[in-house]
Amino acid sequence: MTKFMRTMAAAGAMLGAVAVGSAPVMAQDTIKVGVLHSLSGTMAISETTLKDTVLMMVDDINKKGGLLGKKVEAVVVDPASNWPLFAEKARELISKEKVSVVFGCWTSVSRKSVLPVFEELNSMLFYPVQYEGEESSKNVFYTGAAPNQQAIPAVEYLMSKEGGEVKRWVLAGTDYVYPRTTNKILESFLKAKGVKQEDIMINYTPFGHSDWQTIVADIKKFGSAGKKTAVVSTINGDANVPFYKELSNAGIKASDIPVVAFSVGEEELAGIDTKDLVGHLAAWNYFQSVKNPTNDAFIKQWKTFIKNDKRVTNDPMEATYIGFKMWAQAVAQAGTTNVDAVRQAMYGQKVKAPSGFTSVMNTNHHLSKPVLIGEIRPDGQFNTVWQTKGPVKADAWSKFIPESAKLTADWTFPWVCGNCEKPKYAALVN
């Protein structure tokens, strides 16, 4: 009983601090949200659309009366695919512009760059892109896929009879933290499944890499050993355009060496001649081609806002949509934009997603989401060839990395831990 009373007293003190801290925010005429996406440089091909998605969501909420009776204002900056500049722009948004939340980043190196700023200034970032996991911050909500919601299911599918019973693996990625960590997880997973080291080829290239002739020739040679071979691609940004073009030039078809991509969606395919890429794969949590009323409304809202029927939707857009809606719901529930109050209100938030499933925010700051694998169509869309029966809860820490397998992420008050071993009494406080 004494322990219970101490806990309740601590909770009361925390809520009191939240109430005091929220006063300056409530005095503002508008609620500012930051948009931190590259509008130039190698990542603009992917990130510009996410900036537009946030603007769409701001426009939509203002048409419905705003938030807490106030107009929502988007403050857009361009970190220009420059990773140190992301941190500088994040600090500008939080300290100078006084934004209540930031939606942004694509690459993990940009997220790692801004993370210390958000933690120092106790601000909130919604990160909408698939990533390598191995992180849990109380200042970040991860609405993209963790490896167990994308990379692992994709490899399991290719291993299956339905996926072609692949035996040899090319892990090809851009040279930064997301591909390297994801491939570390996949390499461990593959070896646990009995795949030998000689049947795994790993290759990294810099951002914006354009000369793929030698690498694709090496992939073709690796795939000529008499075992079914696949490429698992964590290549990011505009380097995908010459990569897929060289696959076509080398005569590599999906029936020979299928490629499953984790960073190529409808937006990236819009800049590629896809007729020779039919049958190659992508693993996401959403495709524009999914048929359901929520997705129909999402696509219509996007095309109406952007005033261009040819513009497509994609997975990171859906993740941005989910994150924005959850944040708005949490603000309305908390009655304030105070970060500490909104954080507590985020847990358990639900959004009926365009994927056709209800996404839920868990106390590890990650979503429960479905996993979909799709084949590229001639029109640049995807046919779903496999999907989970329901949403999959994201793992912040991978069980396939020994030092991470013992870690947990749970920001439940009063026991708060993002990267430590779960105590024996955790069940009492979860």
Q: Can you tell me whether residue 70 is helix, strand or coil?
A: strand
> Which residues are CB-contacts of 275 (< 8 A; sequence separation ≥ 6)?
378
Instruction: Give percent of the chain with pLDDT exceeding 90.
Output: 83
Residue 408 pLDDT: 87
Residue 23 pLDDT: 34
Residue 417 pLDDT: 78
Q: Cα(164)–Cα(56) distance, rounded to whole angstroms? A: 40
223 and 172 Cβ atoms separated by less than 8 Å: no
> Which residues are CB-contacts of 364 (< 8 A; sequence separation ≥ 6)?
136, 394, 396, 408, 409, 410, 411
pLDDT tens-digit profile of 253-267? 999 999 999 989 998
Residue 28 pLDDT: 58
Residue 327 pLDDT: 98
Residue 265 pLDDT: 92
Residue 2 pLDDT: 41
Residue 302 pLDDT: 98
> Which residues are CB-contacts of 129 (< 8 A; sequence separation ≥ 6)?
105, 106, 107, 144, 316, 319
Domains and CATH numbers, the chain: 19-145+292-371 (3.40.50.2300)
Token look-up 């060496």 returns 257
Bridge partners of residue 203, in order along the sequence: 172
- Residue-wise pLDDT tens for the chain (430 aa)? 344 344 444 444 444 444 433 333 334 589 999 999 999 999 999 999 999 999 999 999 999 999 999 999 999 999 999 999 999 999 999 999 999 999 999 999 999 999 999 999 999 999 999 999 999 999 999 999 999 999 999 999 999 999 999 999 999 999 999 999 999 999 999 999 999 999 999 999 999 999 999 999 999 999 999 999 999 999 998 899 899 999 999 999 999 999 999 989 998 888 778 888 899 999 999 999 999 999 999 999 999 999 999 999 999 999 999 999 999 999 999 999 999 999 999 999 999 999 999 999 999 999 999 999 999 999 999 999 999 999 999 999 999 999 899 888 999 877 677 777 755 443 333 3
Residue 16 pLDDT: 44
Q: Cα(80)–Cα(104) distance, rounded to whole angstroms? A: 12
Residue 419 pLDDT: 75
Bond from prior residue into 414 cis (ω within 30 degrees of 0) = yes
Query: What tokens were used for 210?
Result: 């354009």
Question: SS3 string of 289-340?
Answer: CCCCHHHHHHHHHHHHHHCCCCCCCCHHHHHHHHHHHHHHHHHHHHCCCCHH
Q: Pairing between strand 417-421 and 140-142?
A: unpaired
Model's pTM, two decimal places? 0.87
